[in-house]
Structure 1
């Protein structure tokens, strides 16, 4: 049996297990990871490389930074300030999604989510609203906001580089926002109206964790509260100016976590307690599947099979739609960066082969590749809130699929208008 076929079987197993949850999500991920080693699809180093992936290190660091904000009670104080301006649950959802969406357009969407997750949990604790109702809109807004500018997400730059190499043209800094802006606005409107009922409604109380609610913080020294906030702000600034200072997100997060422990704001014991290991095993293990899809050519096979079914001379409209859907599906099981890197060259070749301007198809590839809303492994931020929000796999499917539908409709209407296939 070929490595690509074995990989596809493990992909099918993972999908079935994630949907049914007959096994814990982290256990499923580890079965896939070990299975790919035992069957010879991946070597040990490649299979376990996900556990030292920069996003996993970022998870660990930001769990500690967030944990310090809770251990000191500072998150609750911040939550109290925000809730003064947004009294209703819908008002909070709108405010959170708008703030996160705009920030993600200019910062890392993963970094933005990592910084604001503990703050939103604090808001939930202070306001009395369930965190499961607020965290999912937060991570969805982070993904949508990434399409507001050229630097909002890595996939945007991949689409740009493919276009530049092939045609010498470039997307403008805010050109992604032609599609991404309306998707974000309609996404916020959707979850403030019809989608409000689809948001998970779980009671989450992680007894003994750094996110525990209803605690007495009156004996915590004021300096600890202020220092936890100061280090959070410094960490955020480091992430904002990542490219200028030349320090990666994960390293900045680690510096923040180390400072919190060194200064005694949070103890080593509480720092370790704040790390959600379920998230680490789920994300780290699943990255082995993403590597196998890429390295064995299984991902390429999926893309080629579907696109090949369109025939020798497909309509550019149909091609754009199919590319968008393929990218939507792949990105929910691979990273959006890997999905865009895989699909962009294929899309470019087909568009050029039919004599069409590749900009619309590449834009569909990038936007579709960002629609990682329907699984907890679609993007790092989705995984980060899995345990904190008490979510199940189907919570993402139920809440995220309508957003994919919205993104699809918006894209199919605006792409041919903004990026004509055959410019006059």
Structure 2
């Protein structure tokens, strides 16, 4: 049995464990990296190379910078103000909630954004006498959509960029380059929910005054710290967007995190607690697996098999559509980070097989990995609103499937225009 076939078998086992979550996701990813070393796919010294990857540092830094806004109460304050301005009509309220959810998720953790806005939305729904089930799912969906807008909005965006870097591509995605697809998809998603999706939402009267755990106590926050946390985030985002020579994305994120702790926006203990270690280890574990797929030829084998299935020389648009559907299908039941990490190397291999620029294919995989709308387990914001909204599994299927289709159509129209398959032709 060739190394490529062994690698494919290992990949199938990893995918199965990701989907079923028989063991924790991070354990599966790190176990995959160790297996690559034991089976001789990569040298032993490369097994934990993912932990020293600069992207891991970027993740950690942005988790801390984002958490400082939650701990100072600034994120909650922004949410309350914007939602309050939008009024109490169901459509205007939905617009306000989705707008603030998407905007905050573009630069902060979408899980953190959903968590901080959850009690705000419950309170507003109670005051407006609107069932929370009519607004909490749109909030979760908006947090997922907004994350697509910037490089740090959601892990799949960073993974897509890391895949280009790992493949030795000179041109990678810029910080705000994702907005070319992120903004159209977000706007289309908001319109869909306001004019069609709302009819598919359940109408359940839930006690909106139920206790919600909040990490921030009002008496512990101060206006000065809120201003400081806002300035830190603004400086970090501007530094990343402008691209200051000598200051990498990782350096900007870590400097921001250090300043947040030194200025008391959050404690050292809170900074450590805010880092999502599952994401860190998931990413770090899948990096060596990606390398193994490349070294053993498993990625090339999948690419050749997929291309032959599509008729030998398929249109890059067909490839993009199929990988979008595959990524989107996987992300309904497994981590979006895992979906992207699994498919990005395959996307690059197929693009190279066709002689096409891999940017369009990778962008489709990243966007699709964020379209986890049709199940309550696809993304943490969906899970967060499950109880408070009184939702059932099928509620997500009903309201979320249409949103997935809208995202798919918008992506297939916008992506090839912004990132041509054969630039210069």
Q: Give the TM-score of the pair, scaled to structure 2.
A: 0.67
Residue number in structure 1 paired with 2:293: 293
Does 2:322 align with 1:325?
yes
Q: 1:370 aligns with which of 366, 371, 379?
A: 366
Deviation of 1:229 after TM superposition, in Å, equals 2.2
Residue number in structure 1 paired with 2:99: 95
Aligned residues of 1:93 and 1:192 also touching (Cα < 8 A): no
Does 2:143 align with 1:143?
no
Aligned residues of 2:286 and 2:342 also touching (Cα < 8 A): no
What's the CA shift string for 1:258-298, capped at 9, x where partnerless?
11222233221221122222222222222332222233221
Deviation of 1:232 after TM superposition, in Å, equals 2.0
**Inter-CA distance 286–231: structure 2 relative to 1 (3 Å threshold):** same
CA–CA distance in structure 1, aligned partners of residues 417 and 354 of structure 2: 19
SS in 2 for 1:372: helix
Residue number in structure 1 paired with 2:214: 213
Aligned residues of 1:79 and 1:119 also touching (Cα < 8 A): no
**Inter-CA distance 139–29: structure 2 relative to 1 (3 Å threshold):** same
Q: 1:348 aligns with which of 346, 352, 355?
A: 355
SS in 1 for 2:218: coil
Aligned residues of 1:83 and 1:123 also touching (Cα < 8 A): no
SS in 1 for 2:275: coil
Does 2:236 align with 1:231?
no
CA–CA distance in structure 2, aligned partners of residues 163 and 61 of structure 1: 25
What's the CA shift string for 1:155-180, capped at 9, x where partnerless?
6x97xxx9999xxxxxxx99x95x87
Residue number in structure 1 paired with 2:284: 284
Aligned residues of 1:303 and 1:326 also touching (Cα < 8 A): no
SS in 2 for 1:334: helix
Aligned residues of 1:75 and 1:118 also touching (Cα < 8 A): no
Aligned residues of 1:76 and 1:125 also touching (Cα < 8 A): no
What's the CA shift string for 1:272-330, capped at 9, x where partnerless?
12222222222222233222223322122111112123445x574xx631453146536
What's the CA shift string for 1:64-120, capped at 9, x where partnerless?
22222222222222222122234556324531476479xxxxxxxxxx443676455
Residue number in structure 2 paired with 1:81: 81
Across the aligned residues of Structure 1 and Structure 2, the Cα RMSD in angstroms comes to: 4.9
Does 2:177 align with 1:189?
no
Q: Tell me which moved more, 225-234 or 247-256.
A: 225-234
**Inter-CA distance 305–338: structure 2 relative to 1 (3 Å threshold):** closer
Residue number in structure 2 paired with 1:106: none
Q: 1:334 aligns with which of 334, 341, 354?
A: 341
**Inter-CA distance 231–214: structure 2 relative to 1 (3 Å threshold):** closer
Aligned residues of 1:327 and 1:339 also touching (Cα < 8 A): no
Gaps of 5+ in 2: 123-131, 152-156, 205-210, 329-338, 373-377, 388-392
Deviation of 1:122 after TM superposition, in Å, equals 2.8
CA–CA distance in structure 2, aligned partners of residues 74 and 300 of structure 1: 48
Aligned residues of 1:137 and 1:191 also touching (Cα < 8 A): no
SS in 2 for 1:143: coil
Q: Aligned pair count?
A: 366
CA–CA distance in structure 1, aligned partners of residues 409 and 306 of structure 2: 20
Gaps of 5+ in 1: 102-111, 147-151, 166-172, 202-206, 350-360, 377-381
Q: Give the TM-score of the pair, scaled to structure 1.
A: 0.67
User: 1:128-167 alignment to 2 at 5 Å?
Assistant: 128=122, 134-143=139-148
Aligned residues of 1:336 and 1:370 also touching (Cα < 8 A): no
**Inter-CA distance 83–37: structure 2 relative to 1 (3 Å threshold):** same
User: 1:239-254 alignment to 2 at 5 Å?
Assistant: 239-241=240-242, 243-254=243-254
CA–CA distance in structure 2, aligned partners of residues 286 and 12 of structure 1: 13
